[in-house]
Amino acid sequence: MDLLAAGTSVLETLNGAGYEAYFVGGMVRDRLIGRPIYDVDITTSATPDTVMSLFDKTIATGLQHGTVTVMIGKIPVEVTTFRVESHYIDYRRPKEVRFTRSLDEDLRRRDFTINAIAMDREGQLLDPIGGREDLEKSLIVCVGKPTERFQEDPLRILRGIRFVSKLGFSLEAETLAAMIETKELLQQISMERVKKELEGMVKGDFFQKAMNDAYEMDLMSVIPFFNGLNKYRQRCYEAITHPIILFALAGLTCDNLAEYLAAWPFSRVERKCIEVLCHALNQEVDPTYFTYLYGEEWARFYHQMKLFIHQENVPYQVVDLPISDRRELLISGKVIAEVIQRPKGPWIQELLRKIEYLVVMNQLKNEKETLIQYIKNEMEEADDE
Ligand code: ATP
Ligand code: MG
């Protein structure tokens, strides 16, 4: 069963029990412009309790917003009860959910007109706000008074830009002006929510357009630690295909990397990756050696960051590493100690590290005799000095 069939069966059950129910949001929007759909949102007059009683398998994924996930086989379908805009406490949590019996009210609490089109199970559209017209004009327009809507939930500013990136649409003039007017409120939004939107933005097909808009609004100045990115204002962002690269660039250009890493809700792996990338860029670590140390995935990020910084366009080349681990070296600390009869000490590790580097860089062959000869030469030179 595909997404649409799963969603339709949910609509049928809800309608059959006497409730109104419609597809809504991104799925309707994306379908109307012929884009692939990845998830299904349904809006209904049934309360969450009723929804849970009507289906065998449900998960209370967002009861505070009136959302229940209905499982149709393995397909999750999000079902949200008609509700009106809730007031937000400190821009993080809605104070209360107020349900309504009116689809019209539910559509009016939504962020943008293109996200406020409902579709019934026969494919009939209900579009009291006129989202279709804006879809045809490729415009992102607030539902209602833009300034008020951004004040209610400033995350919508970033959502708007994420939709620019995803759809390639333009921000309607009044919506854009309100974004600029209220952008400082973004600093009140939890970093988790901000991070998620930024990640979505990087993944969009029209990321360059989104970045142009973001710079036009001077948005980097209000996102914590992103100020330094202003120096990359006029840049081509094509090389940036993964969110971690944007976060690493922000790290590279911010005043205090440690504070930045501590302030954002990065996973341990993400934090490590950003740290490694920033360090490698500052130290100009050789890409081959970088690949050896951190593997190909991060090496690709490193490559893309350099492309971005130098505004070059060189394809990534897979490197063939002579060894993938120090243990593959055909010499060990023990052998070194036997060949060079000296008291053991940190010099052995230092020498091993140097040999490792030269082998990885193809400047020294990983053969026992060659390596022993190299060590003897090194020691003689050291003795001469
Ligand atoms: P996509 O899933 O492609 O990112 P979407 O439009 O489905 O886009 P969701 O975040 O899945 O976005 O939200 C589903 C719908 O819920 C939206 O289309 C919109 O109608 C409404 N919505 C989501 N977040 C907000 C918000 N912060 N303010 C107002 N309405 C919102
Ligand atoms: Mg969605």
State the chain's mean pLDDT as an integer: 94
d(CA 43, CA 22): 5
Domain boundary residue, one of 321, 338, 354: 321
25 C-alpha to center of ligand 1: Å? 6
Backbone angles phi, psi at 228, to 5 degrees: -60, -25
Please work out whether the CB of residue 209 comes within 6 Å of at least one atom of ligand 1.
no
CA 161 to centroid of ligand 1, rounded, Å: 13
Tell me the whole-structure pTM to 2 decimals: 0.92
Min mean pLDDT across 40-44, 165-169, 217-221, 316-320 is at: 316-320
Pocket test of ligand 1: the residue of 37, 104, 111 to mutate, having most ligand atoms within 8 Å of its CB, is 111
Rounded distance from Cα 27 to ligand 1 centre (Å)? 10
Instruction: Please state the rounded mean pLDDT for residues 287-310.
Output: 97
Whether residue 193 has its Cβ less than 6 Å from ligand 1: no
Residue 60 has pLDDT above 90, yes or no: yes
What CATH number has the domain bearing residue 367?
Answer: 1.10.246.80
Q: Using 50, 70 and 90 to split pLDDT, how confident is the model at 88?
A: low
Q: Which domain holds residue 293?
A: 234-321
Residue 279 scores a pLDDT above 80? yes
216, two tokens: 């036009």
In a domain? residue 378: yes
Number of C-beta neighbours around residue 35 at 10 A = 14
Please compute the mean of the pLDDT values over residues 103-119 and round it to a whole number.
97
Q: How do 75-81 and 41-44 pair as beta strands?
A: parallel
User: For residues 225 and 219, what is the distance between their CA atoms, to the nearest angstrom?
Assistant: 12
pLDDT band at 96 (very low <50, low <70, confident <90, very high): confident
Same domain assignment for residues 101 and 162: no
Single-letter amino acid code for the residue at 131 = G
pLDDT tens-digit series, residues 117-142: 999 999 999 999 999 999 999 999 99
Distance, in Å, from the CA atom of 160 to the CA atom of 150, rounded to the nearest integer, reads 10
58, 173: one domain:
no
Give the side-chain half-sphere CA count within 13 A for 203. Answer: 6
302 in Cβ contact with 289 (< 8 Å): no
Strand partners, 68: 79
Note the pLDDT of residue 193.
Answer: 96
What pLDDT, on the 0 to 100 scale, is given for residue 195? 98
Per-residue pLDDT band at 91 (split at 50, 70, 90): low
250 shares a domain with 214: no
Same domain as 74, residue 6:
yes
- Helix ranges (H only) for the chain are 3-16, 26-32, 48-54, 103-108, 131-136, 146-152, 155-167, 173-182, 191-203, 207-216, 243-253, 257-263, 268-283, 287-294, 296-310, 333-339, 346-360, 368-384
Predicted ipTM of the assembly: 0.99
pLDDT greater than 90 at residue 342: no
Residue 315: other Cβ atoms inside 10 A:
6
Residue in 110, 126, 134, 143 to alter for ligand 1 test, most ligand atoms within 8 A of Cβ:
110
Nearest residue to 268 via CA among 250, 276, 305: 276
pLDDT per residue as tens digits for the range 348-378: 999 999 999 999 999 999 999 999 999 999 8
Encode pLDDT of 47-58 as tens digits: 999 999 999 999
- Of the residues 113, 130, 147, the one at which a domain ends: 130
Tell me the CA–centroid distance for residue 114 and ligand 2, in Å. Answer: 12
pLDDT-derived band at 93, boundaries 50, 70, 90:
low
Query: Cα(385)–Cα(378) distance, rounded to whole angstroms?
Result: 11
Query: Which pair of structure tokens corresponds to residue 130?
Result: 């006129």
Shared domain for 123 and 168, answered yes or no, is: no
Domain of 66, CATH number, reads 3.30.460.10
**Of the candidates 7, 75, 72, the residue with the CA atom closest to the CA atom of residue 44:** 7
Same domain, 109 and 5: yes
Q: Which of 86, 85, 184, 179 shows the shortest CA–CA distance to 140?
A: 179
Distance CA(58)–CA(76), nearest Å, equals 9
Distance 380 CA to ligand 1 centre (A): 70
**pLDDT above 70: residue 379:** yes
Q: What is the number of the ligand closest to the CA of 31?
A: 1
Q: Are residues 3 and 102 in the same domain?
A: yes
Of 130, 146, 181, which one is at a domain's C-terminal end? 130
| 337 alpha carbon – ligand 2 mean position (Å) | 63
3-state secondary structure of 48: helix
Please state whether 286 falls in left (phi above 0), alpha (psi between -120 and 50) or beta: beta
What is the distance between the alpha carbons of residues 203 and 228, in angstroms, rounded to a whole number? 21
* pLDDT of 209 higher than 90: yes
Q: Is the pLDDT of residue 87 over 70?
A: no
In this structure, the answer to whether residues 147 and 219 fall within a common structural domain is yes
Residue ranges near ligand 2 (ion) with Cβ within 5 Å: 26, 39
What are the two backbone dihedrals, phi and then psi, of residue 365, each rounded to the nearest 5 degrees? -80, 140
Q: Assess whether 265 and 292 both reside in one domain.
A: yes
- Report DSSP state, residue 69: E
Euclidean distance between CA atoms 250 and 144, whole angstroms = 34
> What's the confidence (pLDDT) of residue 9?
97
Apex 148 CA angle, 217 and 103, nearest 5: 120
Per-residue pLDDT band at 230 (split at 50, 70, 90): very high
Structure tokens at 30: 């994306």
Q: How many CB atoms lie within 10 A of CB 346?
A: 7
Determine the distance from the C-alpha atom of residue 77 to the mean position of all C-alpha atoms in its chain, rounded to a whole number. Answer: 23
CA distance 216 to 33: 27
Nearest-atom number in ligand 1 for the CA of 41 is 14
237: which 2 tokens? 């962002």
Planar angle of CA 13, 19, 23, nearest 5 degrees: 70
The total number of structural domains in the chain stands at 4
CATH number at residue 189: 1.10.110.30
Tokens describing residue 55: 């289906």
Q: Is the pLDDT of residue 90 over 80?
A: no
- Angle at Cα 73 formed by Cα 71 and Cα 78, nearest 5°? 25
Domain assignment present for residue 229? The answer is: no
Share of the chain above pLDDT 70, in %: 97
List % helix, strand, coil for the chain (3-state, nearest 5).
55, 10, 35
Q: Can you name the residues that pair with 72 across neighbouring β-strands?
A: 75
